[in-house]
Structure 1
Amino acid sequence: MSDCVEEEEDGEESAVFSCLSLKSDWSKEGEPPDFSKEPGPSDTQKTEGSVSVEEQPSCCSLCQDVLKDLSADSVLQEALDEHKISLRRRCEHVTEGSETGSDETGSGTLLNRIYTELYVTEGQSEEVNTQHEVRQIETASKMETLHDTPIRCCDIFKASPDQQRCIRVVLTNGVAGVGKTFSVLKFTLDWAEGSENQDVSLLVLLSFRELNLIRDEQYSLLRLLHVFHPTLQKVTAEKLAVCKLLFIFDGLDESRLSLDFNNHEVVSDVTQKSSVSVLLTNLIQGKLLPSALVWITSRPAAANQIPPSCVDRVTEVRGFTDVQKEEYFRRRFSDEDLSSRIISHIKTSRSLHIMCLIPVFSWIAATVLDHMLTTDQRGELPKTLTDMYSHFLLVQTKRKKQKYHEGRETSPQELTEADREVLLKLGRLAFEHLETGNIMFYQEDLERCGLNVTEASVYSGVCTEIFRRESVIFQKTVYCFVHLSVQEFLAAVYMFHCYTNRNTEVLATFLKDIKFSDLEPKSAFEKISEFFSGHVSRYPALDYFLKRTMEKSLESKNGHLDLFVRFLHGLSLESNQRLLGGLLGQTDNSPEIIQRAINNLKEMKRDDVSPDRSINIFHCLMEMNDHSVHQEIQEFLKSENRSEKELSVIHCSALAYMLQISEEVLDELDLKKYKT
């Protein structure tokens, strides 16, 4: 039994290696060793330094323990390999315009083919409380040229040379559609394929929209892993403890969990049951699996749910730089001439060019412009946001028709009655949840708006670009619009339809709390009731309706209605009403009424309005194709007697906006020289 014989002074560790070599010999020879020639129990003579048979059980027991460990390690490695394969399948194909991996059929585009590196920086912008997210990206586009330190997404857990402590918890902010989830998918895919972050032995990807479904139930962290990632069923608590773990929690802004970091039970065992909220807070604080890495993504407004003391690094996804925008379009289209034409057109409109900082908007623009430039559809290419989203709605509806072979071929501008009915129901859903800031919907939410699951499925299964159906565990389906701006556009379509069809109940409810600038507070609701509750025969003109909705938006502290009212003003134009044929209804939008609406915007004065709300008034003018204020500011800046001319509120807003987005360096701006 020489293979298992050790010198006594070599101790137990040597015995382990001898036993390991014995196992190796077995596998090499294919047969167990022959013990028949070894001395039996009756032998009285023992070779010096040898181990008696009576002493052998301790060695063989140790042997068995080692073999068990090897077997367990083999099971763990097999589970981890299966987990990587599962994650790779989940992440390698994506549907553009969707925040998730491939759909149920596994179709989609290869992520590695279309993925364009995003501009990610360490730290966070300041204007998260008062700005609509579109304004935040406008600010971000200006800040690209500042001295921010970019960081590669795959390096977010790597400490910089000047950082002493390790990075355990990372919080990544970014506006809706800017690429947070795609970054998560790319990070996960790179890990699963073995190209990045291989020091991490186990990556666990979880989304808040899925965790919401079990928020009222009790789970242990280990059970949570097994439920959401069945390939990890064989991973035990003991093995979890020795793994280097990375938890990714995507979409904190979609969370319906109550994260209380001050008053919660302490959970330090992965087998201990508690609520999902408690598990997360303990994991983030380091009380549960203290060595595990944690990555959380969120829209800016929701990020404050995590105390700064719990976060080691904050990063911000800024979207595409100007160079990356062009790279995206060139990667998306193999036709170089087509991509060049699209890029050239985008650059002609400053608002479109800025919006393309958001990858989802770049995809929307690419979808629309590709369709318009490669089909028989003729007409002026869209230059405003309202134009772009109106065309997008039509293109996706047409694609749905082609997929389902719905009747005869219709012109791009022609919506069927069935199309209009479903789109207005989606518009109602979008509108009713806009004020609450809710972007995730369940079946009961759809049913309250008259949508049945079949109708929604038609628009989500194929037309995922308009309304996406997220299949999650527990057979519960979550719905959401592809991007917040699509929700805002459809909400504006629905509101405009309510105005033209005299749905006074919806209008009165929406406008009832406004403090009108030209009315006494006591008479405000009476005025609304008169006009929008059918108590008088004269229905308010379009310019009055637009003025009141603008008043409503100006009262928002965070600008959640900014894009909504921009779309409303854009929809007032005959060109967009004609484009959406029949969806908006008929209204008097004569040149006189449109001019009155423009004048209302120019003359709007409110002492309590934030600068961001005032700038949005200027954007509304641009959506109505009125460039007079922009031209007046250009002339003002060129004039020699600038200090003698008085600037109105709208002129100040336009000037502020132009300074923010200007690509030129300003040598001096002395506000004391100007009259306001």
Structure 2
Amino acid sequence: MKQEVEPSSTGSTPELYITEGQSEEVNTQHEVRQLETASKKKETLHDTPIKCHDIFKALPDQQRDIRVVLTNGVAGVGKTFSVLKFTLDWAEGSENQDVSLVVLLSFRELNLIKDERFSLLRLLHVFHPTLQKVTAEKLAVCKLLLIFDGLDESRLSLDFNNKEVVSDVTQESSVSVLLTSLIKGNLLPSALIWITSRPAAANQIPPSRVDRVTEVRGFTDAQKEEYFRRRVSDEDLSSRIISHIKTSRSLHIMCLIPVFCWITATVLDHMLTTDQRGELPKTLTDLYSHFLLVQTKRKKKKYNKKRPQKLTEADREVLLKLGRLAFEQLEKGNIMFYQEDLEQCGLDVTEASVYSGVCTEIFKRESVIFQKTVYCFVHLSVQEFLAAVYLLHCYTNKKTEVLEDFLRNGQFSSLDVILNKVMQKSLQSENGHLDLFVRFLHGLSLESNQRLLGGLLGQTDNSPEIIQRAINNLKEMNSVSPDRSINIFHCLMEMNDDSVHQEIPRVPEVREQIREGTL
């Protein structure tokens, strides 16, 4: 990831809290909903701020040792940064010098050997060749910290009821069994274990196996402003960007995430420094549509700054292939992809076009161990946006097989029918993994966003009557849980329906959010 999108670019680290009260109930809401909750949270007895270097230290009123720590946080909020900060402080000798050895292992790398057998000692030697001289005897007596980063990226099958137990560092087994044996304390019971994860994936670890649950909540309001003032050197320009973000609650909430601050700054800086007419984006769909355009422009050495440049046919081809990848993997719940995933979508990993300027700030290529490569979108929301672009493209281009496979039943006679069926499907998701996707889909139904994307979506039947029917369908969906109803109101805002604020909603939680100004 580019340096400018790292949390460190503000000089501050994202907020880290001990949330002991959540260890028994893993949060499976969609991540944007969790950001909205986090934006309102006050410090309570169960939400204690903590420095990352103190993460294994017991609180004054705690008697038990802290051996296994689970750190939750939405995509891009700064979990990996906290891990790297801890490791760097230890390596420089400023913190946690009682720890003899810190070993960082990412699940995206462990996925590559999920079907092979390793001993823990050999695994450490392979992933960290500098540890070749570390013997089994040394591991048994040293104070070891093993960090497993990105549980949400794992393709391992963690079975804590598996009777197979590994208790010796030289004993070979599957990577899954090695990991569960470490967490349960059968293997190296004195070793400290730190696992990071997006919240919806954290339930793979039984709460009884975790001694401390922490949460990375992202930037405070002060850190958001600090980011934009450092990112945009012109003081007047940065002030205008900050003022605009405060006028849109959706943008302000999302800016808890450092990566989203970068996306927002990229778009608004470009729009305010070029002679572009019209309002600045206030909805997420509008912002991401502009972001896509800005990135395609950056790959061209010359372009007319006074007018949004049309996407070329080559741009459209690459973006639609990425959209297909985003859509198919979102359905499966995957955010990390491998060569075979790309090839299934027609993306030839040997072609330079895949990594051209249209992709460099959208789609990341990361070299990992064994000369294999892992890929991901720069942020989960970018994947969800491109997935929505792809599905709408399939509708306008009459690729009915994609719609039939996704929606399973029914006729696809008009756009409002499609939107209604996708919303119904999203409401059936247990963890809300389609919530932001369906928000983008409703926003993309507007002619203004389709015009902005210049032919990427195709010609849609978005007459005022059809758009009004889609809005009415959303308003009639009132027989769902309060928690899920909130996304319906977000979809209405993506469609620029101001009546959501004029009417008094029948859902108490939504009414409360409107009163508090968080919706």
Question: Under a length normalisation based on structure 2, what TM-score does the superposition of the two structures give?
Answer: 0.93
- Is the Cα–Cα contact under 8 Å of residues 159 and 180 in structure 2 kept in the other structure? yes
Once the two structures are TM-superposed, the CA of residue 149 in structure 1 deviates from its matched residue by 1.3
Deviation at 1:235, TM superposition (A): 2.1
- Report SS of the residue matched to 1:315: strand
- Distance in structure 2 (CA, Å) of the matches to 1:130 and 1:219: 32
**Matched residue, 1:177:** 76
Distance in 2 (alpha carbons) for counterparts of 1:465 and 1:482: 7
Q: Give me the whole-angstrom Cα distance separating, in 1, the residues matched to 2:506 and 2:210.
A: 45
2:461 is aligned, of 561, 567, 588, to 588
Q: Post-superposition shift, 1:130?
A: 5.3
1:259 and 1:281 in contact (8 A); partners too = yes
The residue correspondences of 1:654-669 to structure 2 (distance < 5 A) are 654-659=510-515, 661=517
Change (3 A) 1:499 1:381: same
1:331 aligns with 2:230: yes
Q: Paired residue for 1:20?
A: none
Residue correspondence of structure 1 range 472-483 to structure 2 within 5 A: 472-483=368-379
Tell me how far 1:563 sits from its aligned partner.
0.9
Q: Is the 8 A contact 2:315 2:358 kept in 1?
A: no
Q: CA deviation at 1:427?
A: 0.6
> 2:496 pairs with 625, 650, 668, which one?
625
Alpha carbons of structure 1 residues 273 and 570: separation in structure 2 relative to 1, 3 Å: same
Q: Which deviates more from structure 2 when the two are superposed, residues 476-485 or residues 491-500?
A: 476-485
Q: Deviations over 1:588-629 (max 9, x none)?
A: 322232222222222234x3x222221111111100111112
1:306: how far off? Answer: 1.5
215-224 or 121-130, larger mean C-alpha shift = 121-130
Q: Kindly tell me: are residues 460 and 237 of structure 1, through their superposed partners in 2, closer, same or farther at Cα, counting changes over 3 Å?
A: farther
Distance 2:331 2:73 in 1: 21
CA RMSD, 1 decimal: 2.5
Distance 1:456 1:348, change over 3 A: farther
Match of residue 549 from structure 1: 422
Correspondent of 1:358 among 245, 257, 267: 257
The alignment partner of 1:435 has SS state of helix
Residue correspondence of structure 1 range 270-669 to structure 2 within 5 A: 270-402=169-301, 412-455=308-351, 458-459=354-355, 463-512=359-408, 525=409, 528=410, 531-532=411-412, 540-605=413-478, 607=479, 609-633=480-504, 648=506, 652=508, 654-659=510-515, 661=517
Partners in 2 of 1:144 and 1:416 — Cα distance? 48
Where does residue 227 of structure 1 map in the other structure?
126
Contact 1:413-1:579 within 8 A present in 2 as well: no
Distance 1:237 1:410 in 2: 65
Structure 2: which amino acid aligns with 1:568? L
> Structure 1 pair 273/128, CA: closer, same or farther in 2 (3 Å)?
closer
How many Å apart are 1:485 and its aligned residue? 1.0
Q: 1:381 offset after TM fit, Å?
A: 1.2
The 1:661–1:120 alpha-carbon spacing in structure 2 relative to 1, beyond 3 Å, is farther
8 Å Cα contact 1:467/1:479 also seen in 2:
yes
Local SS of the residue matching 2:97: coil
CA spacing shift, 1:597–1:266, aligned 2, 3 Å:
closer
Q: Partners in 2 of 1:169 and 1:129 — Cα distance?
A: 19
Deviation at 1:161, TM superposition (A): 0.7
CA distance in 2, matches of 1:329, 1:357: 12
Which range is displaced more, 264-273 or 152-161? 264-273
CA distance in 2, matches of 1:199, 1:465: 40
SS class of match (1:453): coil
Aligned match of 1:135? 33
Offset, 1:354: 0.7
Return closer, same or farther for 1:156/1:478 CA change in 2, 3 Å cut-off.
same
Deviations 1:441-485 (A, max 9, x none): 111111111111145774378843211112111122111112111
Q: Per-residue deviation at 1:203?
A: 0.9
Distance 2:16 2:207 in 1: 19
Question: Partners of 2:496 and 2:464 in 1: how far apart?
Answer: 13
- Residues 447 and 244 (structure 1 numbering): CA distance in 2 closer, same or farther, change over 3 Å? same
Tell me how far apart the structure 1 counterparts of residues 268 and 358 of structure 2 sit (CA, whole Å): 20
Distance 1:116 1:455, change over 3 A: farther
CA contact (8 A) 2:299 2:357 kept: no
User: Aligned-pair distance for 1:396?
Assistant: 1.6
Quick check: 2:229–2:238 contact (8 Å CA) kept in 1?
yes
Per-residue deviation, 1:366? 1.4
| TM-superposed deviation, 1:648 | 4.5
Partner of 1:672: none
Instruction: Give the letter aligned to residue 436 of structure 2.
Output: L
The answer to whether the 8 A contact 1:139-1:660 is kept is no
For 1:274 and 1:460, how far apart are their aligned partners in 2? 41
Change (3 A) 1:338 1:596: same
Spell out, residue by residue over 1:371-418, the C-alpha distance to the aligned partner (whole angstroms, 9 max, x if none): 22223444321100001111111112222334xx8x999954311000
Deviates further, 323-332 or 359-368: 323-332
Long gaps (5+) in structure 2: none
Question: 2:4, 2:231 within 8 Å by CA — same for their partners in 1?
Answer: no
Whole-angstrom distance in 1 between the partners of 2:67 and 2:136 = 21
Residues in 2 aligned to 1:259 and 1:559: alpha-carbon distance in whole angstroms: 23
Contact 2:28 2:199 in 1 (8 A): no
Please state how far the C-alpha of 1:506 moved relative to its aligned partner: 1.2
TM-score, reference length from structure 1: 0.72
Q: Distance in 1 between matches of 2:228 and 2:92?
A: 26
* Contact persistence 1:206–1:250 (CA under 8 A): yes
- The CA distance in 2 between the partners of 1:299 and 1:612, in whole Å, is 19
Q: Which has the larger radius of gyration?
A: 1
Residue in structure 2 matched with residue 40 of structure 1 by the alignment: none
Kept after mapping to 1: 8 A contact 2:297/2:309: no
Q: Secondary structure at the match of 1:401?
A: coil
| 1:253-289: CA deviation from partner (whole Å, max 9, x where unpaired) | 1111122223243323222222211221222222222
Query: Residues 414 and 571 of structure 1: is their aligned pair in 2 closer, same or farther, counting only changes over 3 Å?
Result: same
Q: Look up the match of 1:23.
A: none
2:90 is aligned to: 191
Question: What does 1:235-250 correspond to in 2, within 5 Å?
Answer: 235-250=134-149
Q: After TM superposition, list the pairs within 5 Å mapping 1:66-77 onto structure 2.
A: none
Q: Helix, strand or coil for the counterpart of 1:480? A: strand
Cα distance, 1:213–1:427 mapped onto 2, change above 3 Å: same
Larger deviation: 157-166 or 345-354?
Answer: 157-166
Paired residue secondary structure (1:295): strand
Cα distance, 1:499 vs. partner?
1.2
Q: Is the 8 A contact 1:431 1:495 kept in 2?
A: yes
The Cα shift of 1:547 comes to: 1.9
- Does structure 1 conserve the Cα–Cα contact (< 8 Å) formed by 2:347 and 2:354? no
Larger CA deviation: 118-127 vs 274-283? 118-127
Q: Provide structure 1 residue ranges, at least 5 long, that are not aligned to the other structure.
A: 1-92, 99-110, 513-524, 533-539, 634-646, 664-676
Is the partner of 2:360 in helix, strand or coil? coil
Summarize the Cα distance change of 1:494–1:278 in structure 2 as closer, same or farther, 3 Å threshold.
same
Shift of 1:661: 5.0
Equivalent residue for 1:167?
66
Structure 2: how far apart are the matches of 1:371 and 1:234?
A: 52
Equivalent-residue separation in structure 1 for 2:97 and 2:517 (angstroms): 41
* CA gap 1:151/1:508 in 2 versus in 1, 3 angstroms: same
